Structure formats: C-alpha cells, structure tokens
Chains A and B, each alone.
Chain A
C-alpha cells in the first residue's frame, strides 16, 4: 500500500497514475484497509479536490465500469471522507467487479460521479486529475477516462464488453482535453448518476483497466469536437463491425445491428433514435460509417451525453457516399452510401476525402450543367479530371452499381433530367477517374466524345448498334440533339452529304482531334456502312425528339436515305463541330437548324472519331511502348476504356429507349400533321 501510495503520490503522468490505480486495485482487493488508509491520506492532502476528484473518479469508474455490480454497491454519497466507506465498497466490489463480466449499461453508474464520492481509487484519480494541467474541473476526470474508452473497449473481449466499457466511459469520451471541457452538463449528469457505484466500479476497473485507462483518457481528451470519432475509437468500431460483418464494404442488416446495440443496455427508445440518426440513407442497414456513427452515439449516450436531434456533421457518412461514387470502379471497398442514405461504406481511401469534400458541391446540378455545357476543351477536361469523384456518382447511378448515396441520388435524378448533359460528363468521368497516364488521352477522348455527342444524335442509335467500336457516349446523348436537327430540310441533307465528302478531308484539320481524325476517317468509312443501316432508325428517333417533327419527319425520311449515303461525310462534318460545346444537346433538340443536319452526318464521323480515339489509346502505348511502363499504361488505358465503354453502352441503351419513345410520339404527330406537311 505504501508503495502504491508512494507511487501515487509521485505520479503525475497518466501511465504512472494508472499503474498506481492498478496497485490500488490490487491492494484493495487484497487489503481493503490499505486502500482506506490511502484514501484518507489522499483526502487529506487534497481535500479540496474531493469534489472534483470524486467526479473524476466516478467518471473514471464510469469509464471503467460497465459493471452493473459496481453500480449496485454504490449509493451515492460521499462527502469526504468518503474514501473509507467507499474503499470498503470498493474492496467488496472488487471481488464482484473484477470479473467484470457484465457489461450492463452502466449508464447510471457512469454519469454518477457525484463530486463527493471518493472511491478508493479516487485518491489516485484525484491526484492524477489534480496534476492535470486543466483546472480542477470535474470534467477532467472525464477526459481521463475518455481516452481509455476506446482502448478499454478494445481490451475487453466481445462487443458486449466493449459496450459496457463504452457506457462506462460515457463521460469522458465526448470530452476533449481536460482543460477544454466545455461540457459541464455531462459532468453534472454524471454527478447525478450513481456516484457510489461509479466509484466502486472505478476501483474495480482500475484493476483491469489500468492499462486501458491511459488509452481511454487519451481518447477522451482527443476530442476536439464532441462528436468527433478518434482514431482509436474508430478502429474499435471497425473491429466491432468486422465481428458482425466481415466485409467492410457490406452492410449490417437491421436485425443484427439491433441485437448488437441492444447489448449496450440503452433503452429501446434511445436506440431507436440513434438508429434514426445514423441510418443516413434510410435503408434499414448500416454501412461501416453509419455503424461507427451509431456506435459513437451509443457510447456518448452511455456517458451521459444527450442524443442530438440531428446527426452531427462529423458523424455523417459523407465520405462513404462520396467515396462510393468516386470509386465506382477503382477504389477498394467503398460501400455504397445510404443513407442517405446514407447510406455509405466503410472503406474510405484517404485520397477520396478531398474529392468527397468537393463532391457535395459538384453534385449540384448546376455544376453538372456547366460541365456538360463546356466545350471539349482541354480545360474542360481538366476540370472533369478534378471532378472525377462527382462525375462518378453520376455514372454510378447510371450503372446498376448499388450505391447508397442519397444526395447523389437526388443529384442523379436531376441529372437524369438533363441526361444529355450528363451523358457528356459521364463518359468523361470514367475516363478521368483513372488517374493513369491516360489522363491526357482520356481528355482527348472525352473531348472527342463531346464533339461527337454534339453532332449527331441520330447516330447514337447507330452507335449503339455498332459493335464494340467505342460508341462514344456523347454521341448517344447527341442523338436527341441531332435528331432534332435532322428534320431539317431534306435539301440540306443533300447538300450536306455532298459537302460531307469534302468535309472528310477537313477532319484532319481539327486541332483537337487531329490525332484521332485520321483514325476517325479510316474508321468512319468502316462505320458508315453500319451507321447507314441505323440511320433510318436513328433518324426516325431523332425526329421524335423534335417537337416540330412533323415536317421534319418527312424530311428525315429523305434525309435518312441521304444520310446513309453521306454517313461518311457526316463524320467529317462532325469533326467541325466537336469543338462546339458538346453539351447542349438539350437545346439542340429544340433547334431546327441546319447545323443539326451536319451534325447528324458528323455523328457517324464522330463515332468513327471516337472509335479512333479509343483505338488510339491502346495504339499509343504500343507505339511508345516497349517499356514495361508503357505496356502497363496501355493496359490501364484499355481497362479504363473498357470501363468507359461499358458505361457508355449502358447509357446508350437508355438513350436508345428514350429515342424510340420519341420516335413513336413523333410518328403519331406525323400522322396527324401529314396533311399539313410541305416540302
């Protein structure tokens, strides 16, 4: 005991303190009297800290204790010299508590910490707390136990133990450093809880938790934001998550989560509220982030913190959503969000946070529009690169990738309304997502795609029908646009076609697509045949998109024929338009300008261009590439291309459906307006 006392007296540091506590615990278990004496001694030198100490200790006890047994033994009390009485209790409780089996919600105990209690270990605690730089706030003790919280939980086996610990530590965790305890309420609540039990528990706990106490303290003191999750805590949460759901990217079903959190012995009503707060995407399951938030709230609640009405920002599974959307293909294990939703996924690559942060902003539809409306300039491409994350969610939504991103979903809905724009952006996003060497190529591709998209919407159908040849995404989106244009004069088509051949040679002049135009030209010829077949369909579809389609329908018929012949030229003409901001497909639909026609022709060309672009990607590495790096780069590019193509394909499919619907409506209109059609 003396040793303990000596140690205690000499302890300033936490570790020392904890060792002292350990000794105390040992001593207490074995020598109740000693504890008493120690306590009395402690009381004397630090009478004024009794109150605070008691609080501290009670908190400490709370932190350590998740033992219901301890609670029972304590009854409140404690004016000094409480130590003695408590010491006895402590000793008694030692035996009972030591096993520390029950993780009963020590809520009553944890908050307890009546200032006047001076559990056997309190002297130690006091000392430590006293020495603590922060003022003698009662909160201090909380801070101490706080850090122990997580480690304590971790030290304990099983989630239940963790829960118990958590509950015990309730006071500390949310508190920041000892000094900065701003939350007096929690302290007070603690005080109101069973101080005695807490103290006893503390004593007992100290035995077992001495080692973890330090950790817990660290944790509690590390809170800058009451709701922030420290790394230790987070690690603990993740471990607990793994025990339930090995896949970090998976979800914990509601029933499993219910059982888990019921172990924390919180009232069902509070657990229900915690669930409402943490299930962000309202899907009835918890992702890792949601689970951590829920766990954190449970811990806080057990420590006496009232549950917030709204989920604190630091607990929001934003990253998850963003990560999911961003990662769509590349990053490991990001769980879809939820949560909104989100819901939203455990794996958070460190690189994503930055993207994620920008994400919410990017998610705004306005931003999407800007992207889509930007010309396929390098600058635009650059922007897309930086906005890969946001782009992904859009893309992701298009694809059947289960992503719980409520915000993104909403955004996606908005984007769906502007599909054409999104199409433009989406295609680039997958490309841009991969930060590989192909970034530049991607840019080019995206630019090409945009160009093509701008031009001929009609060809989208053709593009879709086209085999692998990279049906450039923009093209499909452009289909509606060009379709509108198509209905332009048949004469225009004729002239267009006639000019198209002339335009073909012009393609190579396009700066942006110079590299690809050559390919495009070669590919265009190949594709034209295919596209020619599809033109009729495309044209009809495009007609549908044109509200004033009646006249155009007639025209398109003629145009179709012409176009098939002029498919080649179309590409050429497209070449001219690629620079045009891809993104005004929506507007184009409403347009009935001649430009549309040329775009139609260009569509095929663009398809070729795109194909060329895509083809160029792999070819580029080959040309360069005898180096392993080049090969790897080419592999990466190919993979990216594959991803892009897959996405493009799905988007094109959707566009095809839309176009077909438009076609039907236009045909109806045509029948109605036929008598009035002229030309």
Chain B
C-alpha cells in the first residue's frame, strides 16, 4: 500500500500529517489463532508491533514470516478485526484484535 510505504521509508517525514492518531509510532496488535491455525503456529495468541498505517494484509505477511506453516491455510482462511470480518486492505489501529480464521465448521 502506497500510504504505508510513504510512512515506512525511514525518513520520518510526516507530510501526510492528517493522520489523527499518534502518527509514526508503531502500533501493537493482538493476534488470535483458532483451530487449525493454532495447530500450525503452536500458540493461541501472539502480539505484533507494526508500523502505523499497516493493513491486515501487512500483518498477515508478517505472520507468515514468523510462522511459515500458516501458508497451509493462507488460501482458505479469512481475517477478522475486532470481531468483524475484514479485508486484507483494512487499516489497523493500536490495540486492534486480529483473528486468523481458518475455514469454519460450525453446525
């Protein structure tokens, strides 16, 4: 995402100072793993520090590096942010809760 790229380029310049929250600071995200995702990572939750302006997709890419075995479900899983389904393009803010949702099987 271009916006995230602009903030990430390390110059610390904040021309786009319309960002309302603590601009430029890392945001802390809680990540939950369920079912097969938990089997693959070995943990039911973790936390991530991400650059401000990160998307759910950015987090997912980060998680795939941290837990390469998640690749197994990457093409069948979906994401949720704060208990609502979310696209990978969704921007995250600090203290958001990201859930890794492998294919569901209720009922």
Q: Are A and B a genuine interacting pair, yes or no? A: no
Chain A interface (Cβ < 8 Å from any Cβ of B):
none
Binding site for A on B (CB under 8 A): none
